[in-house]
Amino acid sequence: MDAVDLIRTKRDGGRLSDEQIRWLMQGYVKGEIPDEQVSALLMAIVWRGMAPDELATWTAEIIASGERLDLSEVGRPTVDKHSTGGVGDKVSLVLTPLVAACGVAMPQLSGRGLGHTGGTLDKMESIPGWRALLSPEEFMRALREVGGVICAAGPGLAPADRKLYALRDVTGTVESIPLIAGSIMSKKIAEGTESLVLDVKVGSGAFMKNLDDARRLAETMVGLGNAHGVRTAALLTDMDTPLGRSAGNAVEVAEALEVLGGGGPADLVEITLALAREMLALAGIDADPAALLADGTALAKWRDVVKAQGGDAGAALPVAAERVVVPAPRSGFLTRLDAYQVGVAAWRLGAGRARKEDAVSLTAGVVWHARPGDEVAEGQPLLELHVDDPSRVPRAQEALVGAYDIGPEPPQPRPLVIERIA
């Protein structure tokens, strides 16, 4: 076969055959097909898209490039959750111990933050001693004995996607629903879970800015999961407003602990319970996750999850050296708080990274003292910037210009869970 033929076929709107896709994936992983030719093919896919059966083969071949974990020995139903990314999204930190406490095993293979969106592994690393990298034996033991794992994916899972993702990142070919869906689902299917719930964010702080695109992505991923034998459902959830009360690393862990202790922000609790109920339904488990948050069971399970990965759940979380308050400029009701701009501010304070190899600050972040609908008084703290390096503050403040509105009347309430797709 010839890579140029594949590029021409897709450029002209044709469908790649199963044999062509298989040849491409195998050759690219082996280094036999150069980046420039795969880049051209990816751009053709961005413009021309992929048919459902074509994407199913594409995803299957990404999975086949590495190992597919066998979780059958865990001894309990396995179910996972994937979020497409947002601002203040610390849901995985609560969900993992919560659903584990309900009797399922959750293999939460997570990633790191990039740009304005946070990463679960960065947040967890603010816990002293906690390790993101586990051996296969440690991973399986934690799933069997504790029921929940939050860790980095091993190098053996979907290596073709790792190469493709890095290439898409530098060639302007990230924004493609088939490529996004194939990337996400190949890793989730390869991890071996029986069921999967997708949290597809939509709004200013999400990758998908409008509802139609978010719905198409969710439908595509649900179709891929079910086609590969993984029971899959999706919730479309709002990300115009950041989730909870904080965006950062240690500040989000502290907030997750509030929820595990039976408190925490109402929006974070609502999203967490909605996802937990979906996960338990797919796994066939009859349990009340709200009761386990209220009675301390989920918090006790959190300590087990952290301990299994070397962390000290009782240790104090790190705090920033300085806090800079942004006061409310006038009295009234907060009518808007833009998730994207808050995320950029947290990133500029040091909580995020511009490149995958950048270091992040565990203590940097943004805390907000009001959400849309809350009444505020002129001069009261509206936002709080947590930072170790004060030189970062001016650019973070620039990111927040126009990030919020205050009006005489509260806004109409917006649904957090917009739609369910299965």
Catalytic residue among 80, 89, 122, 161: 161
- Return the SS3 of 206: coil
The CA-to-CA distance between both ends of the chain, in Å, stands at 38
Look up 187 and say whether it is catalytic.
yes
Query: In sequence order, what are the residues at sequence separation of 6 or more whose Cβ sits closer than 8 angstroms to the Cβ of residue 288?
Result: none
Q: Which of 8, 42, 46, 9 is nearest to 25 (CA)?
A: 42
Q: Contact 185/58 with Cβ under 8 angstroms? A: no
82 is catalytic: yes
The per-residue DSSP string of 159-187 comes to HHHHHHHHHHHHHT----HHHHHHHHHHH
Of 341, 276, 150, 139, nearest in space to 268 by CA: 276
Of 81, 82, 215, 348, which one is the catalytic site residue? 82
Q: Locate 117 and state its tokens.
A: 């969106």
135 belongs to the catalytic site: no
The verdict on whether 162 is a catalytic residue reads: no
Show Cβ contacts of residue 53 under 8 Å, excluding neighbours closer than 6 positions. none
Q: 92 and 253 in contact (C-beta within 8 Å)?
A: no
**183 in catalytic set:** yes
Active site residues: 82, 161, 168, 183, 187
